[in-house]
A = this chain, B = another copy of it.
Amino acid sequence: MLPERTVERLSEYRRTLLQSLEEGKTHIFSHELAALHHNTAVQVRRDIMFIGYTSMQRKGYDVRDLIDVIGEILDSEKGLNVAVVGIGNLGRAVTTYFVGKRSKLNIIATFDVDHTKIERVISGVKCYSLSRLKEIVESYEISVAIMTVPATSASEVTSQIVDAGIKGIMNFTTVPLIVPDDCYLEEYDMITSLEKVAYFVKSGQS
């Protein structure tokens, strides 16, 4: 199990590397990769050490190989199936956003309680009634949920999600969710993040 921050950075490195590859770069030095992030060369080397990849010494890392190795770490064999729960403004935007990106993360279904949305295709993905959550999650083997429901129903919907067998949640709502230990939770709270920016701006940050 890798350190959480390392996992985040690997994801970021990969995107930079894909970009570099497109630009025809075949090798990259740790300090180059570091400069493209807010990062030091040592940190990059340490992260890459964690995943057990070793470079062509003195030539830098082979871009294509490194992308592959990061892929082996981050991606699941057949990709991971994801549902978006709550398809209001934010849910729609997020769905569109993810559907646009090529990735091993497949947005398979969306859920809502609004009858005008159910059974329609929204942002390219079919919307189902929340009451069919368990059924759909099981039949499509969905393991991750993106929570974009209103704050008022967040807790209740979370129980249903957990009950349906979801093993990871990315929570866009402002309500801190309570989930069992075997369900990974990523709080992804815009207000907190913006307030954090505000605080460090106010305090003349570091």
> Chain A: residues with CB nearer than 8 A to chain B?
1-2, 4, 7-8, 11-12, 15-16, 36-38, 73-76, 80, 82, 89-90, 92-94, 96-98, 101, 103-105, 143-144, 146, 167-170, 174, 176, 178, 182, 184-206
Contacts and interface: CB of A to CB of B under 8 A. Distances in A.
Contacts of A90: 93-94, 96-97
A1 B200 CA distance: 8
Contacts of A96: 89-90
Most buried by B among A80, A143, A188, A198: A198
Given A1-B203, A74-B198, A198-B76, A38 B188 contact: no
A192 B12 CA distance: 7
Nearest to A145: B197
Contacts of A1: 203, 205-206
A35 to B, nearest CB: 8
A71 B76 CA distance: 43
A13 B168 CA distance: 23
Contacts of A205: 1, 168, 182, 184
B16 A176 contact: yes
Contacts of A11: 189, 191-192, 195-196
A22 to B, nearest CB: 12
Given A97-B190, A144-B201, A196-B8, A176 B92 contact: no
Most buried by B among A143, A188, A201: A201
A194 B98 contact: yes
- Nearest 5 CB-CB pairs, A to B? A93-B93, A168-B201, A184-B200, A168-B197, A184-B205
A27 to B, nearest CB: 20
B93 A202 contact: no
B192 A8 contact: yes
A47 to B, nearest CB: 13
Given A191-B15, A192-B8, A197 B169 contact: yes
Given A76-B202, A167-B201, A105 B194 contact: yes
